[in-house]
Structure 1
Amino acid sequence: MKNYEYSILPEYSPLYPSLPYRYEDYQKISVYCRGDREALQRFLPKEFELTSDIFEVFVLKNNEIKGLDLYSEGGVVIPCSYKGIKGACVAFEYVDQDDALCAGREIWGYPKKLAEVEFEESEGKITGSITRRGKKIIDITFEEGADEMEPPVLSPRLQVKRMPHPEVDGTDTNTIVENVLQDVETKKKILGKATLNMEESSQDPLSELGVKEIVGAVYIEGAFTLTYGKVVENLQK
């Protein structure tokens, strides 16, 4: 039986349980890309400053979670800073279950959308893709074999949690949230090379990130705990 303690809608049958959530077993392929600085800054919340032109595109498959229903996801993570705090913002994020969608948006401000997520291993290759409304907006093929690279700073996560106001054109929640994964375990890590394709989509404009080159790729199997974040600042509504 899940432990439901949040006063969220509907109270008699909440969509997701209280924190923490333990991700016991996940597989993830990450592609590190050099992008266009102007494009990367444009896809960050206006409060954040870009700190690197190297960003991450990923697809992740969860095999065991304690808390949420099993789901998989993918997205784009852009290094940034806010008033001296260096980290990274999940600028695009896609999941295939509604409880993960709403928990991510409502608790921390992750910009999650529903999409189809595929993750497969065959003939020495790992493929991962995100398809939304008929567009394959992320399509990765990973193969083992590459030199070590220094990835950009991607933690803590810095997100802007905005919720619309019910009475006027504006917000009634507008905060900067810092979130750090806890009890992180790396069970397996393989460096590799990857190809990346992003189909053009007006609703999900990942193809406009301006990828100039792929500078590295990695496959990871691991675990972590997702729990409460920290409100860095309440912004003017």
Structure 2
Amino acid sequence: MSRLRYVEGPSDNRGAGMLRNTVYGIRATYETDREVIDALLPRPLEALERPEIWLQMVHVAMHRSEDETIEIGALTATVPCTYEGAPGAYCFHMAMEGESVVTSGRERYGEPKKIAETHFERDGDRIRATCTRHGIPYFEIEGTIGDKIDEPLEFEEHIFCYKGLPSITTPGEFDGDVFLTRLNWQRKYTDRRAMNGTITLRESPWDPLADIPVRKLVDMQYVEGGTATGGQLLRKVPGEWIAPHWVGRMDEPRNAGIELGQRKAA
């Protein structure tokens, strides 16, 4: 009997619930320019008083089933913000190893994921991690792990994304509805420590994180433990709210960007 695996068959280990992960890595917040945040944050999300970027660079062991684990490195960069008064962060960049985790996150949750190479190294209390695409190590974070900090080990954080299908015929528009989604990330860390370190952003036309300068490092932490990730649809949004930001999901080195100091059109 022949088989056809382009049609999905029965599966006992696939579910729609939270994905369990084991992680270690670095969480950090840095202050940047107000005009950068004003241009970077799409509607209906609202900026906070302080112009900050929150990011994490972590090694993740994704436990897809009892006998299947996928290990990847992942960089997530966000703008802390609120939606209808509730705190969260808008994700404008995700880069990680592995085609399957990239495509599933983009199509299911609207995450702006890209395939990348990641590298972690640790020597005693010194840890360094990099993210590389197109041969350019455009992101690097490193520091020294210090004392335990008095912050919650268990909590939930929310990350906002946008899910849509770009138009076949009309650039800047979408085929069908566009949705604001929310990732629900449950953290259950076993260790959380303060760090002293630096963030280095190198020029890349494919991943221009260097356009969001590090003015002041506000906080850096080393974490390890377990997480569970899931998400939900929040609402439909007009496509024009997110259309100017969609280029960040693509590799478009010809994009000249916008001149800052000019608030994006509503």
TM-score band by shorter chain is: 0.7 to 0.9
TM-score (norm 1): 0.83
Structure 2 counterpart of 1:56: 54
Counterpart AA for 1:194: G
Q: Structure 1's 118 and 146: CA in aligned 2 closer, same or farther, altered over 3 A?
A: same
How do residues 71-150 of structure 1 correspond to structure 2 at under 5 angstroms?
Answer: 71-145=72-146
Instruction: State the shift of 1:12 in Å.
Output: 3.9
Normalising by structure 2, report the TM-score. 0.74
Is 2:177 aligned against 1:181? no
Taking a change above 3 Å as real, the CA distance of residues 176 and 195 of structure 1, as seen in their structure-2 partners, is same
Q: Is the 8 A contact 2:96 2:114 kept in 1?
A: yes
- CA distance in 2 between partners of 1:105 and 1:173 (Å): 16
Q: Corresponding residue for 2:7? A: 11
Tell me the equivalent position of 2:31: 34
Cα deviation for residue 147 of structure 1 reads: 9.2
- Structure 2 CA distance, aligned partners of 1:156 and 1:10? 34
Q: Match of 2:20, SS? A: strand
Counting aligned pairs with the same residue, the percent is: 21
Runs of 4+ in 1 over 4 A off after TM superposition: 146-150
Structure 1: segments with no counterpart, 5+ residues: 1-8
For the pair shown, the structure with the greater C-alpha radius of gyration is 2
| Aligned counterpart, 1:3 | none
Please name the residue that 1:6 is paired with.
none
1:39 is displaced (CA, Å) by 1.1
The count of aligned residue pairs is 223
What is the rounded CA distance, in whole Å, between the counterparts of 1:126 and 1:99 in structure 2?
Answer: 27
CA distance in 2, matches of 1:120, 1:226: 25
Whole-Å Cα distance in 2 between the matches of residues 167 and 10 of structure 1? 28
Structure 1 residue corresponding to 2:220, chosen from 217, 220, 223: 217
Q: Name whichever of 77-86 and 64-73 sits farther off.
A: 64-73
Q: Spell out the pairing of 1:150-229 with structure 2 (5 A cutoff).
A: 155-166=157-168, 168-169=170-171, 170-171=173-174, 172-182=176-186, 184-227=187-230, 229=231
User: Is 2:199–2:214's contact at 8 Å kept on the other side of the alignment?
Assistant: no
Cα deviation, 1:132-168, whole Å, max 9, x if unaligned, reads 1122121011202379698xxx931111112223454
Give, in whole Å, the separation in 2 of the partners of 1:74 and 1:53. Answer: 20
Q: Distance in 2 between matches of 1:86 and 1:22?
A: 22
Q: Which amino acid aligns with 1:197?
A: T
